[in-house]
Protein backbone atom coordinates (compact mmCIF):
# COMPACT_ATOMS: atom_id res chain seq x y z
CA UNK A 1 0.00 0.00 0.00
CA UNK A 2 1.13 3.48 -0.82
CA UNK A 3 -0.66 6.81 -0.67
CA UNK A 4 -0.04 9.68 -3.05
CA UNK A 5 -1.33 13.20 -3.45
CA UNK A 6 -2.60 13.39 -7.00
CA UNK A 7 -2.14 16.27 -9.43
CA UNK A 8 -4.90 18.84 -9.43
CA UNK A 9 -5.56 22.45 -10.36
CA UNK A 10 -2.59 24.62 -9.38
CA UNK A 11 -4.84 27.20 -7.71
CA UNK A 12 -6.26 24.48 -5.44
CA UNK A 13 -2.77 23.25 -4.57
CA UNK A 14 -1.36 26.67 -3.78
CA UNK A 15 -4.40 27.58 -1.68
CA UNK A 16 -3.83 24.42 0.37
CA UNK A 17 -0.22 25.40 1.07
CA UNK A 18 -0.92 29.09 1.63
CA UNK A 19 -4.23 29.06 3.49
CA UNK A 20 -6.00 32.30 4.40
CA UNK A 21 -5.94 31.45 8.11
CA UNK A 22 -2.13 31.41 8.05
CA UNK A 23 -1.87 27.90 9.53
CA UNK A 24 0.66 26.71 6.95
CA UNK A 25 2.67 29.93 7.25
CA UNK A 26 2.85 29.50 11.04
CA UNK A 27 3.89 25.86 10.57
CA UNK A 28 6.63 26.89 8.14
CA UNK A 29 7.88 29.77 10.29
CA UNK A 30 7.98 27.44 13.28
CA UNK A 31 11.06 25.90 11.65
CA UNK A 32 12.95 29.13 12.35
CA UNK A 33 11.58 29.30 15.90
CA UNK A 34 12.78 25.74 16.50
CA UNK A 35 16.23 26.58 15.12
CA UNK A 36 16.32 29.51 17.56
CA UNK A 37 15.46 27.21 20.50
CA UNK A 38 17.52 24.15 19.64
CA UNK A 39 20.50 25.58 17.75
CA UNK A 40 20.85 28.93 19.52
CA UNK A 41 19.72 30.84 16.44
CA UNK A 42 18.65 34.44 16.30
CA UNK A 43 16.15 34.39 13.44
CA UNK A 44 13.64 37.23 13.69
CA UNK A 45 10.53 35.55 12.34
CA UNK A 46 8.91 38.86 11.37
CA UNK A 47 11.72 39.36 8.86
CA UNK A 48 10.68 36.29 6.86
CA UNK A 49 7.51 35.55 4.89
CA UNK A 50 6.02 32.20 3.98
CA UNK A 51 5.63 31.55 0.26
CA UNK A 52 4.17 28.54 -1.57
CA UNK A 53 5.39 27.99 -5.14
CA UNK A 54 4.42 25.56 -7.88
CA UNK A 55 7.38 23.82 -9.55
CA UNK A 56 5.98 22.45 -12.81
CA UNK A 57 9.23 20.66 -13.72
CA UNK A 58 9.01 18.52 -10.59
CA UNK A 59 5.20 18.49 -10.29
CA UNK A 60 5.59 19.78 -6.75
CA UNK A 61 4.54 22.48 -4.36
CA UNK A 62 7.55 24.05 -2.68
CA UNK A 63 7.40 25.99 0.55
CA UNK A 64 9.90 28.79 1.10
CA UNK A 65 10.68 31.31 3.80
CA UNK A 66 11.63 34.53 2.02
CA UNK A 67 13.86 37.11 3.65
CA UNK A 68 12.07 40.46 3.65
CA UNK A 69 15.31 42.41 3.91
CA UNK A 70 19.08 42.00 3.80
CA UNK A 71 20.11 40.47 7.11
CA UNK A 72 22.61 38.27 8.90
CA UNK A 73 21.46 35.39 11.09
CA UNK A 74 23.59 33.41 13.50
CA UNK A 75 22.94 29.70 14.09
CA UNK A 76 25.13 27.64 16.41
CA UNK A 77 27.83 30.31 16.22
CA UNK A 78 27.89 30.46 12.39
CA UNK A 79 26.72 33.51 10.45
CA UNK A 80 24.45 33.30 7.41
CA UNK A 81 23.78 36.31 5.18
CA UNK A 82 20.44 36.68 3.42
CA UNK A 83 19.71 39.14 0.65
CA UNK A 84 16.26 40.69 0.44
CA UNK A 85 14.10 38.22 -1.49
CA UNK A 86 16.42 35.26 -0.88
CA UNK A 87 14.61 32.18 0.31
CA UNK A 88 15.10 29.11 2.43
CA UNK A 89 13.48 26.14 0.67
CA UNK A 90 11.80 24.28 3.54
CA UNK A 91 9.59 21.64 1.92
CA UNK A 92 8.83 19.87 -1.34
CA UNK A 93 5.48 18.12 -1.71
CA UNK A 94 5.33 16.17 -4.96
CA UNK A 95 2.08 15.47 -6.79
CA UNK A 96 1.57 12.46 -9.02
CA UNK A 97 -0.67 11.28 -11.80
CA UNK A 98 -1.41 7.56 -12.02
CA UNK A 99 0.80 7.06 -15.09
CA UNK A 100 3.85 8.60 -13.41
CA UNK A 101 3.29 6.75 -10.16
CA UNK A 102 2.84 3.50 -12.06
CA UNK A 103 6.21 3.99 -13.78
CA UNK A 104 7.90 4.70 -10.45
CA UNK A 105 6.55 1.62 -8.71
CA UNK A 106 7.23 -0.59 -11.75
CA UNK A 107 10.84 0.57 -11.75
CA UNK A 108 11.00 -0.70 -8.15
CA UNK A 109 9.57 -4.11 -9.08
CA UNK A 110 5.88 -3.51 -8.31
CA UNK A 111 2.68 -2.72 -10.18
CA UNK A 112 -0.56 -1.05 -9.17
CA UNK A 113 -3.03 -3.83 -8.48
CA UNK A 114 -5.83 -1.69 -7.02
CA UNK A 115 -6.53 2.01 -6.62
CA UNK A 116 -8.87 3.91 -4.31
CA UNK A 117 -9.44 7.66 -4.48
CA UNK A 118 -11.64 10.24 -2.86
CA UNK A 119 -14.63 11.48 -4.92
CA UNK A 120 -12.60 14.36 -6.41
CA UNK A 121 -9.61 12.12 -7.14
CA UNK A 122 -7.37 14.41 -5.10
CA UNK A 123 -5.62 11.65 -3.19
CA UNK A 124 -5.03 8.01 -4.03
CA UNK A 125 -4.28 4.87 -2.08
CA UNK A 126 -2.67 2.20 -4.21
CA UNK A 127 -2.50 -1.51 -3.53
CA UNK A 128 0.76 -2.76 -4.99
CA UNK A 129 1.79 -6.27 -6.00
CA UNK A 130 5.21 -7.51 -7.02
CA UNK A 131 5.97 -8.01 -10.70
Return the domain boundaries, the chain: 2-130
Which element (helix H / strand E) includes 44? none
pLDDT band at 94, cuts 50/70/90? very high
Residues 6+ apart with CB under 8 A from 82: 67, 70, 71, 72, 73
Distance of CA 40 to the CA centre of its chain: 25
| pLDDT tens for each residue of 96-131 | 999 999 999 999 999 999 999 999 999 999 999 999
What would the pLDDT profile of 31-80 be if each residue is shown by its tens digit? 999 999 999 999 999 999 999 999 999 999 999 999 999 999 999 999 99
Amino acid sequence: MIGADLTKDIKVLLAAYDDRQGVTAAFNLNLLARINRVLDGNFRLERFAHEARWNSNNSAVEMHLVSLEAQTVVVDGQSFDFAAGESIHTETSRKYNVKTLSAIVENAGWYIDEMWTDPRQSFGVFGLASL
